Every structure is written in C-alpha cells, then in structure tokens.
Structure 1
Amino acid sequence: MNLLALLALAVVCLASDVQRPLELAANPSTKYVVAHFIVGNTDPYTLDDWKQDIFLAASKGIDAFSLNVGSDPWQPARVADAYSAAKMQGSFKLFLSFDMSAMKCDAEDAAAPLRTYIDTYRKHPNQLLFNGKPLVSTFAGQNCLFGTGDLNSAWNTAIKANREPIHFIPAFFVDPATFRDLPVMDGIFQWNSAWPMGNYDITFGPDSSYLSNLGGRSYMAGVSPWFFTHYGPDTWNKNWIYRGDNFLLAKRWELLIQNRNSVSIAQIMTWNDFGESHYVGPIHGAQPNSQAWVNGFDHQGWLDLVLYYSQAFKTGKYPAITKDRIFLWGRLYPASADPPPGADHVGRPDHWQWTSDKVWAVVLLISPATVTLKCGSSTSTAALPAGLGKMQLSLVSNCAVSAAVARKNATVLSLVPSGFGFSKTPPTYNFNAFVAASP
C-alpha cells in the first residue's frame, strides 16, 4: 500500500502489541540454538575472524554454527580454522551442512568430499553431537542420487552405509508425505519455515505438516528476521522479498517457544548470508556482490533479542528483564518509490507489495512505562506493562526515527539511532532492514 499520499503529515494512531507471558511446556530434552553460517563468504578469513564470530555468537545464546560448505577448494582450510577457533573458545560447537546446490552429487565418487569432512571432524571436541552422534545437515540434496536409483539409497550409500553412525537432519525440499520413504533421515530441517511464503503473518502450520509426517524423528526449525535479495539476470537472477513485517523475528521465536516440545533445534537463518539480507552477525569477510544493499545496514542490534528468546526456548522460562531495552528495525525507503532512472538495473523486487512502510519496535521493560516512537510528524505512544511489548510506527515523510521510554513524566531511555532516516527518494531498490538497539 502507498501511504505517502494518503497519510502525509498525519499523526499515526496508537499501535501496540503487548506480549503476555506464554504458557510454556515442560522441557523434555536438551534444546539447541544454532546459526547457519555461509563458509563461502569467508575466503579472506583468518583464525582471528573465526574467533571473533564464535565468541560473539556464544555470548548471544547461540550454541553452534551450522557450517554451510560448498565446493570451493579453499573452504576445507576455513572449516579447519573454524574448529580450531571453537576449541579455543571451549564450549561452542560446529556441524557440517553440505550445500548441495553447489556440490556435485551425480556420481558415486562425488560423495567422497562429504565423507572426508565427516570423518575429519566426527571426533573433534567441538563437533555438535545429537543423541551422541555427530550431527550432519544439508541445504537441499533432494535431487542427489550419487549414481544410485533413489534418494534414500543415494544418501545412505553416500554417508551412512558401513560407516560410524551420524545423526542426519537434511533440509530436503520434498513433500512431507514422502518422509516415510526416507528412513536415511534421522530428522528434517524445514528451511522455509523461517518466513511466511505469502502475504500473511508467520504461523506454525508448515512446521506442523512436517512434524505430522516425521514419525517422531528430530525436527529442526528455522527462525529468521528478514529476507531480501537483489541479483539481476546477469548474476544469480534472484530479486524478491519474503514478508518480514509484523515482528517476524519476535513472533517466530514465540511460536517456537510455544511449541518447544516438538522442536529439537532452532536454526537462526543466518549469521552471515549477506546476499539474502538475513544476517545477524557482523558484516565482514567476502560479500557475494551484495554491497549495494548490505553496506551501512548492520544487523547486530537483533542479537540481544536473539539472546532473550533463545534462553526461553532452551530453558522453558523467559529470562528476567534487568534493564530497559529498545529494539528498532525497518526499511529506509518507501516500497513503492523508484530510484533515479538508470540507478538500478535490477528493478523493484518481486512481492514488494507484501511490506508496509513501518518501523517495528520491541521493548523490554523492567516496570510499566510510556513508550513513544517518532519520525517526523508520525508519532505512536503506548503505556506498556513490564515485560516484552511490541509497537509499530508508519513512515510517511522524510524523517529521522527515535524512541523513548518514560516513567513519571521523566525520560529514562532515549534512542536516536545514527543513520535511521526514512527517505522518499531511494538511491536504489534497497529493501534491506536497518536495525538499531539501545545499549
């Protein structure tokens, strides 16, 4: 919807969504929070780079990285550094996720690199074990036959038959009704559970369809804050968004916490996939030609929100709030606006109509307070109770975003993020999120 003409200079009405305490189920087994890590973006990484990422992730409630490995000849050396850095940290774990969109799997010998990876790290002290076995995953792989006749035989021959046990949880894009024909899987990772696949809010429906066909096997669910990719036909030909509106990151976590009895692992998507804009880690390494929409859009403001929710997912109890916090995110340009002619040959992304021009705010309060969001003439104010609350603010004119928490008519917390300015004249079609958090 184009709000610019309809709502210019209007004061936005109160809009708030207060999270009430959730009824949490008992914890039947150990829960893990992991983050998907694109090794393909680490060509210039040193051991210190890995240490930086691993120590940061561990401090934010993340237990492990799922190392997305491809076919580049330099990637085994980066994986070796990752395991070395994890050992230096101590408790942080890693596991392999074979990117089968990049690795060969059309012949029997194509499985050799997979087996080499598994055998190299299965006994490593920082290898993530699930049910006492090394955890192994994939991105895709549902079309891999490794020279055999069917999918189940292919993967069994490739990484399981006559070998030490592993716990195999791939992200196969297959009809859940076929899970019964895939006993090679010890579980499934539902990659597209992290975002709504249409113009609607996130639900647990896609998870339920997988769970009802798994027969009690392990379930790994995705959780993600955003999705925007902007490659033209001259490169990867990917130019679309998924709907990140209406507090996607927060509401997805709340769904996983409500259904935690059914979810073994929550996988954050991602730590560093800059090309699809759903990174939560620092911007460093090698970008996949995504600088145009990534540079200047740091997402680390989401990490403390990840910490809050991951503790609830793993323990079954929301952590106590000991400090007022404000988390803000949103796009910097109207969804319907065009850049100058010739500035962006890729064009406006598909599904652009699925997003509204708004700031999304999650607030953690130690006691009841009045919270105000402002951007130019738009203002939203709400009296929120202690705990986690949600607010939104429509963006209608060129303005700078700010937020404040007040008690007894005195401001106790103010956030005016540098760079968080809404502009009606975008330089390019950039639908990435700008993220900010109070200290």
Structure 2
Amino acid sequence: MLAASKGIDGFALDVGVDPWQTYRIADAYAAAKSQGSSFKLFFSFDMGSLPCASSGDATLLQTYIKTYATHPNQLMYNGKPLVSTFAGESCTFGAANYKDGWNNALKSSGQPSIYFIPSFFVDPATFPDTAVMDGAFNWNSGWPMGNYDINFNSDSLYLKNIPGRSYMAAVSPWFFTHYGPDTWNKNWIYRGDDWLFAQRWEQLIQNRNYVNIVQIVTWNDYGESHYVGPIHGAQPNSQAWVNGFDHQGWLDLCAYYIAAFKTGQYPTTARDRILLWGRLYPAAANVPSDGVGKPANWQWTQDYLWAVVVLTAPAQVTLTCGASRASAALSAGLSKMKLPLDPSTCSVTASVSRNNKIVLTFTPSGFNFSTNPPTYNFNAFVAASP
C-alpha cells in the first residue's frame, strides 16, 4: 500500500450518515486485510453528519464498533479498539449533557470496551471533568488559527488538561475550501505559509515524548485541500480547485518526518531531493467572474514558493521564477528555503550544484505562477524531484 510505504501505520475512517459508507467501510477493512494485519483502521465518527440527539442514535455507532472490534486490522490501543470523532460536543444521545450521553452511547453495559479519543471542540479546561474521554484529539492543532506561524501552544493546553491520558495531535499541510452558499457555504483558508507541514512535523518530533499519536489531516479530503494521497475517485464538487493540483510530493516529506518521529533520529538520505509547493496565483488578485468570492483570511498568505531540500552533502541550492532568484549554501540533511514569486507570469526551477557542478535540476511541469487566475484557487501546487 502506498500509505504504508511512507511509514503511515493506518487510516482514521471518517464515518457519516450516508448509507453507502457502510459498504465503503467494509471495503476498507477487506483491503487492509488483503495486505496482512499490520495496517490498521479505526473509526472517526463525523458528528457534524451523524444524528446524536436521542438514545436510539447511538445504535449505528455501536453497530460499527461491534462489527469490527475483533477485526485483525482494527487499531487496538492499550488493548482496546480505538474510537475517535470529529466534534460531538453537542451530542447528548438523550442524556442531560454530552458527557453522560457519550458514556451511555459507547461505554454502557453490553458495549465492547473501547479506547475513546474524541475531538470535542470545547475548552480543554473541561477535560478533567470529562471522564468518558481516554484521551483527546486536537483537530485544530494542524494549522495556526490566525495570522501567525504554527506553534505548540494549543498542544500544551491540551496536555495540561489530560494528565495520565493519551494525546493525539494533528499535522496538516494546507487548508483551502471554496464552496458557495448554494452548497456547503465554506470559503476560507488557514495560514499555510512558512513551510507549515515541515514546521509542524518538527514541533511534533521535538515533543515526541508527549505526543502519543499523530494524525495526518488528511489522506483524501479534496474539498478542504489538505489531501496528501492521490486524487482518486469521486470528489465532493471540488474539481475546480483540486484537478491538476497533485499533493503526493508531501508524502515523501511525510516519510522523512515519520521516521524521525518514530525513532527520534532524522534518517540519512541516499540522494538529493527538492520538494516545492506554493499557490499559482497572487493572493490579492481579483476574479469578478468567480461568484463564490475571495476566501476569508486570504490576506493571511503571502506570494512565496516554499522549498524543502534534503541533501546528501553540502551544496549550493538555487530557486528561480522569472526575475526572482534565491540561492543558499546548505548543509547535508534537511533545509528550508523560500522564494518571493515574481509579480508576473513565471515558471519555477530549482537546482543543486556541488563543487561547481550542477548535480540536480528540477523544473516541475505545470508549476507556473500567473497573475491572471481563472478562479479564486488558493490550493497548493506540490512537486517533488524524482
């Protein structure tokens, strides 16, 4: 499996209310089993989709858990099937509050014993009084929630309030969604500047003794532009900003950082690599023909090319796009560079030279910055040298 080859240990299965998802869940467990028992799966119940007001609404969740609790590819944590959520802080399942509701739904008599790490969007100061939680998943920790660089502050707040329990952190490369009021009415970005994916991974590696699980957000959420897997299968009407924007270059970056997170040591590299990403259009450009409008928070991002370079030995690395040029003497291992994108149409090129000899030139097809966007597309174009 592609994911496993990059060091990913399993998938969180986002489960909503649609009936077809039952069949896709079965397909996922069957596919994992066909490759052996090492790749694991667990449920992340999407409580923005699933009903959860009455006690009967718990039946669907209970059925999913019971069906796969003993499956060889079910992720077991501390000897129990791991179960997570997206949201759920408004769910009562017929009880007086969400804490009792979730306890009745998933931990009452007759239910399989589970290890519950939800992502409740509540003040972490309430976690000590939320006994149903065996840990906490900090979904929003993958991106800065304002116009600033990613930091570890929200992680520290979660950790402070769940002593003795497990912490699941998020890492995500990007966020852009562009749905109008006639569909899901979601049109905003989170700040992905300053090598977000790399910076976040490095923070998690620095704090690996406190982070029990890292969830990469996501493998295939095309609608929010944070997919790292192949563009495959049906899309949620996101083709306008996803088609032509492959993100698999980020998978190679994942492999490098996953190895470091698991072992505490950054791996050595067998060859020089260049990984590039950035938007293809100026943030301030106007597109009157795009009826959805400019995304909220658009002013949080700058027009830069972001580069991560992994070298086998010291070398000179140069980035260019039109008249814009950046060059630096870099050490062996991983380094980061950035390049202001020229305020005119240009194509991106990167090169590595060593001992006055060019050893790698990378001009990714399609990585062309243009001042005339056809729509408001703030998705990232990602490319990795072979």
Instruction: Name the TM-score, length of structure 1 as normaliser.
Output: 0.87
Cα displacement (A) at 1:423? 0.2
Identify the residue that residue 214 of structure 1 maps to in structure 2: 162
In 2, the alpha carbon distance for the partners of 1:233 and 1:338 equals 19
1:167 to 115, 121, 131: 115
Identify the residue that residue 61 of structure 2 maps to in structure 1: 114
Identify the residue that residue 145 of structure 1 maps to in structure 2: 92
In 2, the alpha carbon distance for the partners of 1:432 and 1:234 equals 21
1:239 to 183, 187, 195: 187
**Residue identity in the other structure for 1:242:** Y
Identify the residue that residue 9 of structure 1 maps to in structure 2: none
Identify the residue that residue 45 of structure 2 maps to in structure 1: 98
In 2, the alpha carbon distance for the partners of 1:411 and 1:122 equals 55
1:83 to 29, 54, 63: 29
Identify the residue that residue 377 of structure 2 maps to in structure 1: 430
Identify the residue that residue 70 of structure 2 maps to in structure 1: 123
User: Do residues 292 (structure 1) and 240 (structure 2) align?
Assistant: yes
2:302 alignment partner, SS class: coil
1:403 alignment partner, SS class: strand
Identify the residue that residue 345 of structure 1 maps to in structure 2: 291
Residues 147-199 of structure 1: CA deviation (Å, up to 9, x unaligned): 00111110111011112311000010010111011110000000000000000
Identify the residue that residue 366 of structure 1 maps to in structure 2: 312
In 2, the alpha carbon distance for the partners of 1:285 and 1:66 equals 18
Residues 105-139 of structure 1: CA deviation (Å, up to 9, x unaligned): 01000000000000011100000011111000000
2:185 alignment partner, SS class: coil
**Residue identity in the other structure for 2:350:** A
Runs of 4+ in 1 over 4 A off after TM superposition: none
User: Do residues 191 (structure 1) and 191 (structure 2) align?
Assistant: no
Aligned 8 A contact 1:83 1:126 in 2: yes
Aligned 8 A contact 1:167 1:186 in 2: yes
Aligned 8 A contact 2:69 2:112 in 1: no
**Residue identity in the other structure for 2:99:** N
Aligned 8 A contact 1:87 1:126 in 2: yes
Identify the residue that residue 355 of structure 1 maps to in structure 2: 301
In 2, the alpha carbon distance for the partners of 1:213 and 1:284 equals 39
**Residue identity in the other structure for 2:186:** K
Aligned 8 A contact 2:167 2:212 in 1: yes
Residues 20-61 of structure 1: CA deviation (Å, up to 9, x unaligned): xxxxxxxxxxxxxxxxxxxxxxxxxxxxxxxxxxx1100111
Q: Show the 5 A alignment for 1:287-436.
A: 287-339=235-287, 341-342=288-289, 344-396=290-342, 397-436=344-383
**Residue identity in the other structure for 1:302:** W
Runs of 5+ consecutive residues of structure 1 not aligned to the other structure: 1-54
User: Do residues 71 (structure 1) and 23 (structure 2) align?
Assistant: no
Residues 52-75 of structure 1: CA deviation (Å, up to 9, x unaligned): xxx110011100100001011111
In 1, the alpha carbon distance for the partners of 2:53 and 2:100 equals 13
In 1, the alpha carbon distance for the partners of 2:50 and 2:364 equals 42
2:229 to 267, 281, 288: 281
Residues 272-304 of structure 1: CA deviation (Å, up to 9, x unaligned): 000100000011111111100000000001101
In 2, the alpha carbon distance for the partners of 1:411 and 1:302 equals 25
In 1, the alpha carbon distance for the partners of 2:305 and 2:24 equals 38
In 1, the alpha carbon distance for the partners of 2:98 and 2:261 equals 33
User: Do residues 157 (structure 1) and 107 (structure 2) align?
Assistant: no
Aligned 8 A contact 2:274 2:308 in 1: yes
Cα displacement (A) at 1:215? 2.0
1:370 alignment partner, SS class: strand
User: Do residues 262 (structure 1) and 210 (structure 2) align?
Assistant: yes
In 2, the alpha carbon distance for the partners of 1:413 and 1:86 equals 37
Runs of 5+ consecutive residues of structure 2 not aligned to the other structure: none
1:262 alignment partner, SS class: coil
Instruction: Name the TM-score, length of structure 2 as normaliser.
Output: 0.98
